Amino acid sequence: MGSLAFERITLIGIGLIGSSIAREIREQGMAGHVTISTRSPETLKRAEELGLGDSYTLSAAEAVKGADLVIVSVPVGASGAVAEEIAPHLKPGALVTDVGSTKASVIAQMMPHMPPHVHFIPGHPIAGTEKSGPDAGFVGLFKGRWCILTPIEGTDRDALALLRAFWEAMGSMVDEMDPQHHDKVLAIVSHLPHIIAYNIVGTADDLETVTESEVIKYSASGFRDFTRLAASDPTMWRDVCLHNKDAILEMLARFSEDLAYLQRAIRWGEGDKLFELFTRTRAIRRSIVQAGQDVDAPDFGRHALDPK
């Protein structure tokens, strides 16, 4: 086993994120035994075919028995039901975490079920792709990416340090954040971009004159980047929208105001306003690239002409 090792790790949900964690655990020998549980028999069978764990069960309750670390990687809307099912079977001292894209709602759903003898620490790796399912995961997904932990007041320091070490072993950089703050930040940097992508691709699809011909034909342009995001998992993103409603609506209101400003500048031919905005945003892109936050995965919509 590797230097950071758990006797038994249980993964509930074995899609893109769960299976990437499983692959990394396997690669690094981080567990004596990995139990995998998921809702659908087909996905469980596929996880077994891929050899992602040591044992497989459709029962989340069975899966968590004796586990030292339980990682819940299901759509955020399913967190409460999973917590309710596993709670009575958790071993005293077990560390329970999740990877959900929203945090306040996951805490509200899971916390009431958590027995006092376990450590529940919510988390969110800021790493992913538009793909889903157990085949989509890969070793290295979390490398060099942030993972945000949103510990609840009174969280055991040793348990927190252990979860931090776990994500560092996954290759991530770890930050701690208040859950409400997390939800606001993620609303603008992740949730809105996806909503905008779903919207623009939907609009293009509604414009019947361009679909099935020009949209596909000329998609090697900016539109292509949007189609990647808009191909993301519908269940996952439905849940994100429903479970980070307030922060998303707040950011959408700001977005609409700023869009109206842009619309007005275009209508009135105010080139200086457009130029000023486009110059400011270009600087942001460059600072992200410089900070090493540009991603290496070939599928991330990067263009050959992007700044290095």
Ligand X SMILES: O=C(O)C(=O)Cc1ccc(O)cc1
Ligand Y SMILES: NC(=O)C1=CN([C@@H]2O[C@H](COP(=O)(O)OP(=O)(O)OC[C@H]3O[C@@H](n4cnc5c(N)ncnc54)[C@H](O)[C@@H]3O)[C@@H](O)[C@H]2O)C=CC1
Is the torsion defined by CA of 8, 9, 12, 16 positive or negative? negative
Shortest distance, position 42 Cβ to ligand Y, whole Å: 9
CA distances (Å), origin 75, targets 164, 177, 259: 22, 21, 31
Which residues here bind ligand X, judged by CB under 6 A? 101, 126-130, 190
With CB under 6 A as the contact rule, the residue among 17, 34, 69, 159 that binds ligand Y is 17
Contacts of 125 (CB under 8 A, 6+ apart): 17, 99, 141, 142, 145, 146, 147, 167, 170, 172
Shortest distance, position 126 Cβ to ligand X, whole Å: 5
Pick between residue 113 and residue 194 the one whose CB is nearest to ligand X: 194
d(CA 54, CA 52): 7
CA distances (Å), origin 161, targets 66, 109, 175, 212: 21, 24, 12, 52
With CB under 6 A as the contact rule, the residue among 11, 52, 87, 236 that binds ligand Y is 236
Q: Which stretch binds ligand Y (CB under 6 A): 13-21, 22-30, 289-297, 298-306?
A: 13-21
Shortest distance, position 300 Cβ to ligand X, whole Å: 6
CA distances (Å), origin 296, targets 11, 13, 25, 151, 224: 26, 26, 21, 30, 18
Pick between residue 94 and residue 132 the one whose CB is nearest to ligand Y: 132
Shortest distance, position 174 Cβ to ligand Y, whole Å: 14
d(CA 243, CA 241): 6
Q: Please give the radius of gyration of the chain, using alpha carbons only, rounded to the nearest integer.
A: 21
Pick between residue 128 and residue 137 the one whose CB is nearest to ligand X: 128
Q: Which stretch binds ligand Y (CB under 6 A): 72-80, 160-168, 176-184, 248-256?
A: 72-80
Establish if 53 lies at the interface with ligand Y (CB under 6 A).
no
Q: Which does 82 bind (CB under 5 to 8 A by kind): ligand X, ligand Y, none?
A: ligand Y
Q: Which stretch binds ligand Y (CB under 6 A): 8-16, 174-182, 192-200, 269-277?
A: 8-16
d(CA 1, CA 8): 12
- β 123-125/146-149 pair status: antiparallel
Contact 65, 92 (CB under 8 A): no
125-144 residues in contact with ligand Y (CB under 6 A) are: 125, 128-129, 132-133
Longest dimension (CA), the chain: 67
Pick between residue 65 and residue 131 the one whose CB is nearest to ligand X: 131
Pick between residue 31 and residue 105 the one whose CB is nearest to ligand Y: 105
Q: Which does 38 bind (CB under 5 to 8 A by kind): ligand Y, ligand X, none?
A: ligand Y
With CB under 6 A as the contact rule, the residue among 8, 10, 11, 16 that binds ligand Y is 16
AA letter at 49: E
Contacts of 186 (CB under 8 A, 6+ apart): 101, 102, 124, 126, 244, 247
Shortest distance, position 240 Cβ to ligand Y, whole Å: 6
Q: Which does 190 bind (CB under 5 to 8 A by kind): ligand Y, ligand X, none?
A: ligand X
Shortest distance, position 249 Cβ to ligand Y, whole Å: 18
Q: Residues in the site for ligand Y, rule: CB under 6 A?
A: 12-18, 38-40, 43, 73-76, 78, 81-82, 99-101, 125, 128-129, 132-133, 233, 236, 240
